[in-house]
A = this chain, B = another copy of it.
Amino acid sequence: MRRTTIKDVAHEAGVSIGTVSAVLNQRDSVRGVTRKRILQIMDTMNYRPVEAARRRLGSPREKTLGLVVKEIHNPYFADIIVGAQEEAQKHQYRLLVMSSEQVFDREVDAVKVLVAKDIDGLIINPLMESGTESSHFEELAAHNIPFVMIEGQLGDAASVVDIDNEKGAFEATMHLVCAGHTELVHLAGPRYSHHALERGAGVLRACPSARIVHAGATLAEGYNAVLDHLPLARFTALVCYNDLVAIGAMRGLRELGLRIPGDVSVVGFDDIDVASYLEVPLTTVRIPKREMGRQAAAIAIEQIQSSTDTRSKRVLLDAELVVRSSTRAI
């Protein structure tokens, strides 16, 4: 059924649309009785003005940036969002956040919706499949909407902000290898994630004999991976896909009667806030998450404002090993 318009209301009230408009805009040129009646009719007809039509088409609007993350329920992204929001704020931009929740169709849909909402630029943390079927990005390009990928690849089309995962994982693993560990297990991240792939590669470069166990990206997955695959296993160190997995794994290890770092050294990745608050503070690889969000927003805004066709940028930030108490030398 058609949406109720100002015409319908006007017709129903037996007045002109101009009068209805005046009521809508709280102008006091309308007689009390008329206003009352019109308001009443708006209500019963469930009239909701089309906002886009109100601000004269094409009139200056609030500047907005869209941000699509893979999963909003992850402290890692929370930091990225905060960083992007800070930078956006600084330039009078608003940030609209959507989450694909790891579902590709929702990512496509989210981009569509944000475009329909007339955002000025987009930051996206794309699912890996995006590389294959990326028509939703082409639409952005066609509409001249600058977009920045976080943790992406894709040819030269887009700007990218990322960290050197391979190096970070390599260093984390080397930290263990240098400490005398030889029996390593890598609790790997989600399949179809760039980060997971790169981190896995870094682990293997530092320790080709490392055993790879597929875990995931959450507390529960870390916990389950340990209980499902590691009882009876011989290993002295665990390199985890991220801190959440590490924290989950540590609980699993404890339940297996293993002490950290006494029996097993554990390394995480991300350095989420809680990592340093644990009873055994977690050794991890710190990602400058806020900075990533900030830079992504900065690049997007820059591209929006420079009318000249800006070259796409790629920023690779450093991940840094933070040694705390969950690892020890053998």
Q: Which 7 A-B residue pairs are closest in the complex by CB-CB distance?
A: A52-B52, A279-B279, A46-B307, A97-B97, A51-B118, A48-B144, A73-B78
Whose C-beta in chain B lies nearest to the C-beta of A306?
B46
Q: Which residues of B contact A51 (CB under 8 A)?
A: 115-118, 143
Interface string of A242-277 (1 = CB under 8 A from B): 000001101100100000000000000000011001
CB distance from A194 to the nearest CB of B (A): 23
A233 within 8 Å of B by Cβ? no
CB distance from A256 to the nearest CB of B (A): 14
**CB closest chain-B residue, reference A47:** B144
Contact of A277 among B24, B46, B106, B248 (CB under 8 A): B248
Does residue A57 face the partner (Cβ distance < 8 Å to B)? yes
A-B contact pairs, 29 of them (CB 8 A): A43-B144, A44-B309, A45-B307, A46-B144, A47-B144, A48-B144, A49-B143, A50-B57, A51-B115, A51-B116, A51-B118, A52-B53, A53-B58, A64-B113, A72-B82, A72-B85, A74-B78, A78-B78, A85-B101, A94-B98, A94-B113, A96-B113, A219-B274, A219-B277, A247-B277, A250-B277, A250-B279, A251-B277, A279-B279
- Known contacts A116-B55, A254-B279; A96 and B94 CB within 8 A of each other: no
Complex contact B82–A73 (CB within 8 A): yes
- Count chain B CB atoms within 10 A of each CB in A99, A247, A273, A277 and give the residue with the most: A277
Integer count of this chain's copies in the complex: 2
Residues 17-51 (chain A) with a chain B CB within 8 angstroms: 24, 26, 42-51
CB–CB B81/A73 < 8 A: yes
Contact (A98, B95) CB under 8 Å given A64-B113, A279-B278: yes
A329 at the interface (CB under 8 A from B): no
User: Inside 8 A of A247's CB, which chain B residues have their CB?
Assistant: 274, 277
Residues of the B chain whose Cβ atoms lie less than 8 Å from the Cβ of A82:
72-73, 101
> Which chain B residue shows the least CB distance to A252?
B277
* A254 surroundings in chain B (CB, below 8 A): 279
Most chain B CB atoms below 10 A, which of A49, A117, A250? A117
Question: What CA separation (Å) do A219 and B42 show in the bound complex?
Answer: 48
| A52 proximity list for chain B (CB < 8 A) | 52-53, 57, 118
Does A62 sit at the interface, judged by CB under 8 A?
Answer: yes
CB distance from A247 to the nearest CB of B (A): 5
Quick one: given A72-B81, A94-B113, A97-B96, are A5 and B43 in contact (CB under 8 Å)? no
Question: Please, which residues of chain B bring their CB within 8 A of the CB of A79?
Answer: 73
Interface residues of A in 63-106 (CB under 8 A from B): 64, 72-75, 78-79, 81-82, 85, 89, 94-99, 101, 106
Nearest chain B CB to A66's CB is how many angstroms away? 9
Evaluate contact between A223 and B62: CB separation under 8 angstroms: no
A94 touches B73 (CB 8 A): no
Give chain B residues whose Cβ lies under 8 Å from the Cβ of A229: none
Q: Does A142 contact B (CB under 8 A)?
A: yes
Whole-angstrom distance between the Cβ of A62 and the nearest chain B Cβ: 5
